[in-house]
Amino acid sequence: MTVEAYRERPALLPGATVWTRTAPGGDYLILPDGCMDLLLMDDDLVVAGPDSRAWTGTSAAGGRYVGLRFAPGDAPTFLGVPAHALLNDRVPLSELWSRSRSRKLFDRVRAAADPAGGLDRAVAELLDAPADRLAQEVFRRVRSDTLRTPGGMVGLARALGLSERQLHRRCLGAFGYGAKTLDRVLRMNAALDRARTGQGLAEVAVVSGYADQAHLSREVKALTGVPPTTLLR
């Protein structure tokens, strides 16, 4: 039996994470997190678009995966494709770039003694455009519970010098969905992280800004398809 092994470390690209995984085999569940990944899998480079719901896949025992998880909002700059075009999807990089360009990156990563390090260095060198500062500021403010204050959405748009419609459009391009969905995703993950430390779900719900435990359970199930007790097992 293959035991799952997962490792991650900060990437060279600010805010990004490089990770490796050896799969135990069978079905797996990836929870939405507001991010996008570039994966080396099945002898190809694949882009994992932003998820608004849990992604279910199947892997063979011993399957090895390497990935770079971009900071929220950064992947569209690297890919040249708005995030909403890849919502809830997994797409070969060759479908977004020319075959020669994507193959060049693939060959470089594969030729590296450490594919994770090779992917990390290649992306850091290729992403020479400035980061989407507005997307970073939206993410920072949403993560700090800005939307759960009175007039949250209107206040966020005004603080950024945008109309609500402009804010929504910019969020679609950067994250794949609007600020309200991003808030739901980030709050759910923060709540699950607290629950994994041993806190009871009723306490987690209150601290995380849910009305009660039932509200937390409904939100988790809506975004993942399963209740929090199942995820925590």
Q: What is the CATH number of the domain that holds 144?
A: 1.10.10.60
Query: Is residue 41 domain-shared with residue 119, that is, in the same domain?
Result: yes
Query: Is residue 122 domain-shared with residue 211, that is, in the same domain?
Result: no
- The closest alpha carbon to 201, from 219, 217, 188, belongs to 217
Using the 3D structure, point to which of 93, 126, 159 is the last residue of a domain. Answer: 126
Taking the CA atoms of residue 182, residue 188, residue 193 and residue 195 in that order, the dihedral angle to the nearest 10 degrees is: 170
Residue 160, classed as helix, strand or coil, is: coil
Query: Is residue 139 domain-shared with residue 116, that is, in the same domain?
Result: no
**Could you tell me the residue range of the domain that residue 217 belongs to?**
133-232
Query: Is residue 102 domain-shared with residue 195, that is, in the same domain?
Result: no
Using the 3D structure, point to which of 108, 126, 144 is the last residue of a domain. Answer: 126
Count of the separate structural domains present in the chain: 2
Query: Is residue 122 domain-shared with residue 137, that is, in the same domain?
Result: no
Query: Is residue 193 domain-shared with residue 215, that is, in the same domain?
Result: yes
Query: Is residue 138 domain-shared with residue 120, that is, in the same domain?
Result: no
pLDDT tens by residue, the chain, 233 residues = 455 688 999 999 989 999 999 988 888 889 999 999 999 987 899 999 999 999 988 888 888 899 999 998 899 999 999 999 999 999 999 999 999 999 999 999 999 999 999 999 999 999 876 678 889 889 988 888 766 666 678 888 988 999 999 999 999 999 999 999 999 999 999 999 999 999 999 999 999 999 999 999 999 999 999 999 999 98
Backbone dihedral angles phi then psi of residue 65, each to the nearest 5 degrees: -130, 145
